[in-house]
Structures are given as C-alpha cells and as structure tokens.
Amino acid sequence: MRFKFAFMTGLAIGFVLGARAGRERYEQIRKLARKAAESPATQQAVAAVQAQAVNTAKAAGGKLAAQAGTARAKVGGALHDRVPGMRTRDANGHATGHNGYAPTPGDARRG
C-alpha cells in the first residue's frame, strides 16, 4: 500500500510539473536528448556496449550448451537405470539392448 501511495504521489507531482513546463520545455528537452543521442561519443559508447553484449551472449550460450549436454547425459543414464521398460539408445539414436528396451530390475538377462 505504501508503494502504491508513493507511486501515485510521484505521478501526480510529475503531471503538475509537466503541465507547468508546457510544450516549449518539452521541445527543448527533446532537442537536447536527440543531440546527445546523435553525438559521436554516444555512438561509440553504444557500439562498444553492443559488441560487449554480443560477446557475453556468445560465451554464455556456449557454456550453457556444454552444461546442458552434460546434464542430459547424467539424467538419461540415471533414468535408464531406474525406469523399467524404458527404451535405450546408442549415440546415434538407434535402439539398443533387449529389443530396444532397458531390462527390468531383477531380470535374469540383465547385463
């Protein structure tokens, strides 16, 4: 409730101040913002941040892919050991074992 009251108060103050400043002040602020956005220094900073973001995303994606593969292998192996009748597959995706199914616990044919 406190946050809501503070937000509404800030909104009301911003509305009143904005209405008093009028259209001229709005246009002045808009021109300054455009000028700052078009400056060469700002453009260089934006390009540097974008390049860093791309490099970070690529590095994170590679790490996640490696971890996902490891996790998949661990979970897959654990499932085949614990779930009776689950199909087993080799690295190429072909069914292996007893007609493509994992042996049930206590099965005499279990290897």
DSSP per residue, the chain: -HHHHHHHHHHHHHHHHHHHHHHHHHHHHHHHHHHHHHSHHHHHHHHHHHHHHHHHHHHHHHHHHHHHHHHHHHHHHHHHHHSTT-EEE-TTS-EEEEEEEPPPTT-TT--
Answer whether residue 111 is part of any domain: no
pTM for the complete prediction?
0.40
Assigned domain for 72 exists: yes
Which pLDDT tens digit goes with each residue over 46-84?
899 999 999 999 888 888 888 887 887 777 666 656 666
Work out the average pLDDT over 2-10.
81
In a domain, 89, yes or no: yes
Predicted local confidence at residue 111, as pLDDT: 47
Mean pLDDT of the chain: 75
Same domain? For 59 and 17 the reply is no
Q: Provide the number of structural domains found in the chain.
A: 2
Does a structural domain hold residue 47?
Answer: no
pLDDT at 54: 92
Domain that residue 2 falls in: 1-39
Percent of the chain with pLDDT over 70: 64
Position 48 in a domain: no
45 in any annotated domain: no
Residue 86 clears pLDDT 70, i.e. is over it:
no
